[in-house]
Amino acid sequence: MKIAIVFGKGLDGCGVEKYAAVFKDFYKDTLDIYNLKEKSFTRSGGHVKEAIDFLPEDMAKTAKILDENYDIVIFNSYPGNSNKPSTIKSFFFDMLMKVNKPITVAMMHEIKKANYERIPMHIAIANQCDQTYNFSTITDYAMAVKNILTHKADRIRRFRMPMTINYKSVPFEQKEKMVLYAGRWTSMKGPRRVLNFLDIPNNQFKGRLIGIERSIGAKGDIIDHPNCVYAGNFNNWQKDIETHTVFGPYPYEVGQELMSKAMFGYSGFTLPREPQNYGDRMEYSQMEIFINGTIPIFDKHYGENNVDSTGKRYIDNDKIALWSEADDLSDVYEQMVEISNNKELYETYVKNGKEFVFREVSSNIVVPEFIKEIQEIGKEANKLSFEQLITKTHGEQGFENFMSMMNALPDNACSFNVKDCNNKEYSYYVKKKREIYEIKNTEALGDEW
C-alpha cells in the first residue's frame, strides 16, 4: 500500500505539517509528501524534512503521478485566497479532479468558520474527495458540509491527531521553577495569561513565552504588555532566557529541550463560545508538554468539554494536569507551589500524564486505525460530478451561472463556500475580500445578449 499526502497550501511549519510528519515517521518507506511551492512560510520544513516539491504549472503532471502510483491520496491543505487565482483553479480542476483511481481524502484542519470559509472551492473539494475528515462530526464545519452534501453525510468523519511518542525525562532536581508557553501567537491559546501570571506577589516561578512572531495580534496582546521583554531573535536564548520573557520563533528541538526542563508547560487552548468545535482532542503543543515529562496547565473549560477515549472528561482524569480559568493562572498557583516542593507528587503527575497521552494520541494506535477506516469506507461509488453538485446547491442554472462567473473573471478565484451554497450566491475574491457576482438576466437582455 502506498500513501501520498498533498500540501496544496505548501509546508507551513505548523500543526498541519506536524500531522503529516507523524504519518511519514510511521510509514517511512511507503508514504510520500507532496509540497506545492508557490508561497513561502517562516516555519516551513520545521517538521517535514523530506518532500516532493511541485510548482503550480506541474499540477496535471503531478496528478497523473498520484493517480497511477498511490492507493490513498490525502489532501492535507489547499491553496488559500492569498494564492494566485490560476493556482487555485488549477489545483481543483487539473489536480484534484484528475486523481480518480486511489481513495481520495480531504482533511480540514481549520476550526473557525472565518478560516475555512477563506479556502476557495472547499465545498467542491469535499464533494470531489471520497471521504472528508474534521476534528469531529459535530463541529461547525462538519455540520455545515453535511447539510450541503447530504448525499455523502456518512463520509464526513472525525479524525484523531496522532503523535510519535518519544518520552523525555529530566530529573525532578534539575527542573526549573518556570511556566513555559511554546508556540505561535493565537488568541485561542491565551499566551497573555503567562505574562499576567508574573504579577502574582512573591511569585516563585518564572514565566516565559517562545515562538511569538511580530504580528498585529501579538503586538497588542503580548509585545505591548508591560511584562514583555521581547527577543525576536532566538540565537542567544541561553543567555537571554534569564532576562527576557518573550521570544520569537525557535528551533523545534530547542523548544522541546526548554519544555523538558520547565516544571510546568502552559497551553490555554479554549473555545468558550463554541465547545462543539473542540473535537475531543489535544493540540500538538499540548501533547508535547506531556511527552517532555512536564506538568501541563490547561484551560478549565477545555478540560470540562473534551472527552477521552474511555468516555471520561479530560478534567476527570486524576493528576494529569492543572486546570485554570483565571486570566493570570492565580487559581492554580498554590497547587504549583505544593507540587514543585513534592518530588513524589510531581512524578505522579508526570507518570499519569504520559500514560494518558500514549493512550489518546500514540501514532502506533491512531495512524493504523485511521488508515484502516479509510480503506473500509473506500471509494464513493455514486459521486456527484462538479456540474451535478452545483445544480444541487444552486439550482438548474447553477452550473451555467458558475461557469459564466469563471469566464467573466479569469483573474479571480471563485469562493464556492458554505455561504455561497446556503445563500445560493456566486462569489469570488478580490485579493482576500469576498465579492458577490451579479448574474445577468439573459431573458431580459434578449437579442442584446
| pLDDT per position as a tens digit, 40-74 | 776 677 889 999 999 999 999 999 999 999 999 99
- Domain-ending residue, one of 321, 339, 361: 361
- Domain-ending residue, one of 327, 361, 395: 361
Residue 275, pLDDT > 60, answer yes
Say yes or no: 43 and 94 in one domain.
yes
Say yes or no: 357 and 208 in one domain.
yes
User: What is the pLDDT, as a whole number, of residue 446?
Assistant: 39
Average pLDDT over residues 386-414: 96
User: Angle formed by the axes of helices 333-340 and 343-361, to 10°?
Assistant: 110
- Using the CB atoms, write b or e for 134-154: b if 16+ within 10 Å: bbbebbbbbbbbbebbeebee
Say yes or no: 293 and 233 in one domain.
yes
User: What is the pLDDT, as a whole number, of residue 61?
Assistant: 98
Distance CA 162, CA 20 (A): 10
Say yes or no: 99 and 195 in one domain.
no
pLDDT in tens, 95-113: 999 999 999 999 999 999 9
User: What is the pLDDT, as a whole number, of residue 216?
Assistant: 94
Q: Which of 415, 399, 398 is nearest to 89 (CA)?
A: 415
Give whole-number Cα distances, 364 to 26, 27, 164, 295, 372, in Å: 8, 11, 8, 23, 13
Say yes or no: 338 and 379 in one domain.
no
Terminal alpha carbon distance of the chain: 54
Say yes or no: 146 and 209 in one domain.
no
Residue 33, pLDDT > 90, answer yes
Residue with cell 496535471: 60
pTM score, whole prediction: 0.94
Give whole-number Cα distances, 310 to 201, 280, 317, 353, in Å: 40, 11, 10, 15
- Using the CB atoms, write b or e for 194-228: b if 16+ within 10 Å: bbbbbeeeebebbbbbbbbeeeeebeebbbebeeb
Q: Structurally, how many domains does the chain consist of?
A: 2
Average pLDDT over residues 395-404: 96
Residue 444, pLDDT > 90, answer no
Say yes or no: 14 and 117 in one domain.
yes
pLDDT in tens, 349-399: 999 999 999 999 999 999 999 999 999 999 999 899 999 999 999 999 999
Beta bridge partners of residue 107, listed in sequence order: 133
Say yes or no: 328 and 368 in one domain.
no
Residue 245, pLDDT > 90, answer yes
Q: Which of 304, 298, 233, 224 is nearest to 266 (CA)?
A: 298
Say yes or no: 349 and 397 in one domain.
no
Across 32-46, 122-136, 251-265, 331-345, least confident range: 32-46
Q: Where are the alpha helices (DSSP H) in 27-183?
A: 59-69, 85-90, 113-116, 122-128, 140-148
- Domain-ending residue, one of 312, 346, 361: 361
Average pLDDT over residues 271-283: 97
Say yes or no: 215 and 136 in one domain.
no
Say yes or no: 140 and 176 in one domain.
no
Average pLDDT score over the chain? 95
Distance CA 31, CA 20 (A): 10
User: What is the pLDDT, as a whole number, of residue 42?
Assistant: 67
Contact (CB, 8 A) for 129 and 105 = yes
Q: Report the CATH number at residue 13.
A: 3.40.50.2000
Say yes or no: 182 and 235 in one domain.
yes
Q: Where are the alpha helices (DSSP H) in 232-324?
A: 237-240, 252-261, 284-291, 300-304
pLDDT in tens, 168-205: 889 999 999 999 999 999 999 999 999 999 999 999 99
Question: 59 burial class (0-12, 13-18, 19+ CB within 10 angstroms)?
Answer: buried
Q: Which of 74, 73, 88 is nearest to 119 (CA)?
A: 88
**Domain coverage including residue 277:** 172-361
User: What is the pLDDT, as a whole number, of residue 319?
Assistant: 98
